Amino acid sequence: MITVLAGGTGGAKFVQGVMRILPPEELTVIVNTGDDLTWWGLHVSPDLDSITYALAGILSRERGWGIEGDTFTCLERMRQLGAPAWFQLGDRDLATHLRRTQLLTVHTLTEATSEIASEMGVRARILPMSDDRVETRVLTAAGDLSFQEYFVRERYRVPVKGVRFVGAEQAQAAPGVVEAIRDAAAVLIAPSNPVTSIGPILSVPGIRAALCQTAVIAVSPIVGGAAVSGPAGELMKTQQLPVSIAGVAQAYEDFLDALIADERDRPHAAEGERLGVQVTFTNTIMDSDEAKAELARAAVSAIIPARAAPGSPARAARDGVVAGRAR
């Protein structure tokens, strides 16, 4: 059993790779819900949608979000009526949000997610990180924004001062999340933004602790000192993380065993190893189905060495730290 932590377009692409090399019954994906928003009165969960569409084989290749071949007739009409239209929902996509919103009147988000995935023929298990509301807020020069306001409406062009996860302290991990992490052969962290895609998942009490009990392999979203896409670099800086594979390793330092990084970062191998993490270099640019599968294979191949605790450098280094000082 493999568990993937995922969010954003990098997460969806990586999951597409994993599903090409693993039977769906062996895969659990734990998904960021910090970006969830109420849009036109509907509960929209951008990352749950992308992961579900990816696993259902209907994710738009062109856009990286929404459903392949979708139309935007309702959106255009909403625009004509003067409704906000900066967040784009396709006509097919709308059906997902209508279903979820209705299901949430009597079900938890975990149950609604499972029902919708099942309706789409998805056999892997998709879990939201929490059934409680944890909202990623991005403090910017233009005000305190929701993640989608920052990312979509402002196109992440406003300077960021900080990020917080409102509600995280009171939130509980969704049913099955801690077990899916603790009992997995390994947890793979998708090449998602460490701050706003994986960060919200880690903010939920109990999840970091569970990760410390499992072999964890992360795929770096940073290539050649910059994010492959999106604002990961800018956001890492706000967390005092270097925009490098070392920064990614540092974001996950309390539980990371191995890091999959891009060939282009091989010159920086020593930085990752200084953090006690085994680093594997490969092509991490997921520009084809085969590249996605190859990256997933590289991550899965890192499981055995990563599990070889306490002999692995990661475990040894961590255990040393744990023994040596409070963490």
- Min dist. Cβ of residue 119 to its own copies (A): 4
Least separation in angstroms between residue 120's CB and its own copies is: 7
Site membership for its own copies, residue 322 (CB under 8 A): no
Q: Give the nearest distance from C-beta 90 to its own copies in angstroms.
A: 8
Match 């944890």 to its residue by tokens. 134
Pick 57 or 320: Cβ nearer its own copies: 57
User: Footprint of its own copies on residues 48-87 (CB under 8 A)?
Assistant: 70-71, 73-74, 77-78, 80-83
- Is 311 among the residues that bind its own copies (CB under 8 A)? no
CB of 37 to its own copies, least distance (A): 14
Of 79 and 161, which CB lies nearer to its own copies in the complex structure?
A: 79
- Answer for which of 22, 37, 120, 142 binds its own copies (CB under 8 A) is 120
Q: Does 240 bind its own copies (CB under 8 A)?
A: no
Q: Which is nearer to its own copies, 40 or 254 (CB)?
A: 40
Instruction: Calculate the alpha carbon distances from 301 to 15, 180, 189, 190, 241 in Å.
Output: 16, 20, 14, 15, 27
Q: Does 42 bind its own copies (CB under 8 A)?
A: yes
Is there binding between residue 282 and its own copies (CB under 8 A)? Answer: no
Any idea which residue has 């960060």 for tokens? 199
Task: Assess 326 for contact with its own copies (CB under 8 A).
Answer: no
Measured from the CB atom, the residue of 103 and 232 that comes closer to its own copies is 103
Near its own copies by CB under 8 A: residue from 1, 63, 86, 98: 98
Site size toward its own copies (CB under 8 A) is 26
Instruction: Establish if 95 lies at the interface with its own copies (CB under 8 A).
Output: yes
Per CB under 8 A, 37 contacts its own copies: no
Q: Does 293 bind its own copies (CB under 8 A)?
A: no
| For its own copies, the closer CB: 92 or 237 | 92
User: Are 3 and 28 contacting, i.e. CB atoms less than 8 angstroms apart?
Assistant: yes
- 3-state secondary structure string, the chain? CEEEEECHHHHHHHHHHHHHHCCHHHEEEEECCCCCEEECCEEECHHHHHHHHHHHCCECCCCCCCECCCCCHHHHHHHHCCCCCCCCCCHHHHHHHHHHHHHCCCCCHHHHHHHHHHHCCCCCEEEECECCCCEEEEEECCEEEEHHHHHHHCCCCCCEEEEEEECHHHCCECCCHHHHHHCCCEEEECCCCCCCCCHHHHHCCCHHHHHCCCCEEEECCEECCEECCCCHHHHHHHCCCCCCHHHHHHHCCCCCCEEEEEHHHHHHHHHHHHCCCEEEEECCCCCCHHHHHHHHHHHHHCHHHHHCCCCCHHHHHHHHHHHHCCC
Nearer to its own copies, 69 or 310 (CB): 69
CB of 115 to its own copies, least distance (A): 9
Among 102, 170, 172, 213, binds its own copies (CB under 8 A): 102
- Closest to 131 measured CA to CA, from 162, 184, 176: 176
Binding site for its own copies (CB under 8 A): 40-42, 70-71, 73-74, 77-78, 80-83, 91-92, 94-96, 98-99, 101-102, 105, 116, 119-120
